[in-house]
Amino acid sequence: MGATAFRTLDGADIGDVPMIHLRGIVNRFGAQVVHDGVDLDVRRGEILGVVGGSGSGKSVLMRSILGLRRPNAGQIHVLGVNALSDDATTRRHVERNSGVLFQDGALFSSLTVGENVQVPLKEYYPDLPSSLRYELALLKIKLAGLPADAINKLPSQLSGGMRKRAALARALALDPPLLFLDEPTAGLDPISAAAFDDLILTLRSALGLTVFLITHDLDTLYTICDRVAVLADRTVVAAAPLTELEKFDHPWVQEYFNGPRGRSAHVAAKEGM
């Protein structure tokens, strides 16, 4: 898959250690239990799709992995370190090596695309000359499939698809080995969504990325995911390639992947091979 060597906080090669390792994750909101014993591994170099019904806690799980929400119980290891550690160096290690594209892009509306991409560069490399930060931002913008002149545009001047790519450029600013995508094709027309899927595949191959992908887009799942994890019944009921999931005996899984839309996406994926 083109995955490159990645070293842990102490400089050791991560080897075959999962990029993300979850055990017994519990998330509660008052009396509401969203997750009750989630176990999941994300392997280096793979694109893992995460699916589930409304309220199954897909985004909550991602936020827990990123340290934006502390789970009520369980263990989370990311990039070979304890992501729940209170140690500032450990937390910064995870943040520095994780790129995130939130569902709405979360771009700063008052900053240009180039300034948005430079935000993480300024935070982690404050001594970089401004000219070099500009060149690095331009490189990431082109890498995300945007024209060079997008660097001086405000997010409001971009189409929905271009804003997604601008947010992706910012997520890639620090060359992270781990990329989180929350509904990246939501709101895009079919052509733009397919182009974004192709871009993720290209970047994974070129940069050796590991991708944690939340989506409800069946075409995306069939086109780019190596495995898919299904959140249901407050846990991960299965994590497997789609050819295995289609045969998995669970009512939500059967309805989702073998319903009319699932069958159409499967046929389209086979025809596109």
Give tens-digit pLDDT for 76-89.
999 999 999 999 99
What pLDDT does residue 156 have? 94
Q: Which of 53-57, 97-101, 103-107 has the lowest mean pLDDT?
A: 103-107
Give the pLDDT band (50/70/90) at residue 11. low
Please give the residue that has the higher pLDDT: either 268 or 230. Answer: 230
Question: pLDDT category, 8, cuts 50, 70, 90?
Answer: low
> How would residue 16 be classed by pLDDT, with cut points 50, 70 and 90?
confident
- % of the chain exceeding 70 in pLDDT: 89
Q: Write the pLDDT tens digit of every residue in 165-205.
A: 999 999 999 999 999 999 999 888 999 999 999 999 999 99
The pLDDT, as a whole number, for residue 36 is 96
When pLDDT is cut at 50, 70 and 90, the band that residue 5 belongs to is very low
Which of 41-45, 111-115, 259-263 has the weakest average pLDDT? 259-263
Residue 98 contacts residue 176 (beta carbons within 8 Å): yes
17 pLDDT tier (thresholds 50, 70, 90): confident
Q: Is pLDDT at 4 greater than 50 in this prediction?
A: no
Write down the mean pLDDT value for the chain.
90
CATH of 20-271, one of 3.40.640.10, 3.50.50.60, 3.40.50.300, 2.60.120.10: 3.40.50.300
Q: What is the pLDDT of residues 21-49, one digit of tens each?
A: 999 999 999 999 999 999 999 999 999 99
Split at pLDDT 50, 70, 90, the class of 1 is: very low
For the chain, give every domain's residue range. Answer: 20-271
3-state secondary structure the chain: CCCCCCECCCCCECCCCCCEEEEEEEEEECCEEEEEEEEEEECCCCEEEEEECCCCCHHHHHHHHHCCCCCCEEEEEECCEECCCCCHHHHHHHHHCEEEECCCCCCCCCCCHHHHHHHHHHHHCCCCCHHHHHHHHHHHHHHCCCCHHHHHCCHHHCCHHHHHHHHHHHHCCCCCCEEEEECCCCCCCHHHHHHHHHHHHHHHHHHCCEEEEECCCHHHHHHHCCEEEEEECCEEEEEECHHHHCCCCCHHHHHHHHCHHHHHHHHHHHHCC
Q: Please, which pLDDT band fits residue 260 given cuts at 50, 70 and 90? A: low
Stretch 94-102: mean pLDDT = 94
More confident residue, 34 or 6: 34
Whether the per-residue pLDDT at 246 is higher than 70: the answer is: yes
Lowest mean pLDDT: which of 55-59, 105-109, 135-139?
Answer: 105-109
Mean of the pLDDT values across residues 94-106? 88
pLDDT of 259 reads 73
The answer to whether 76 and 82 are in contact (CB under 8 A) is: yes
Please say if the pLDDT value at position 263 is more than 80: no
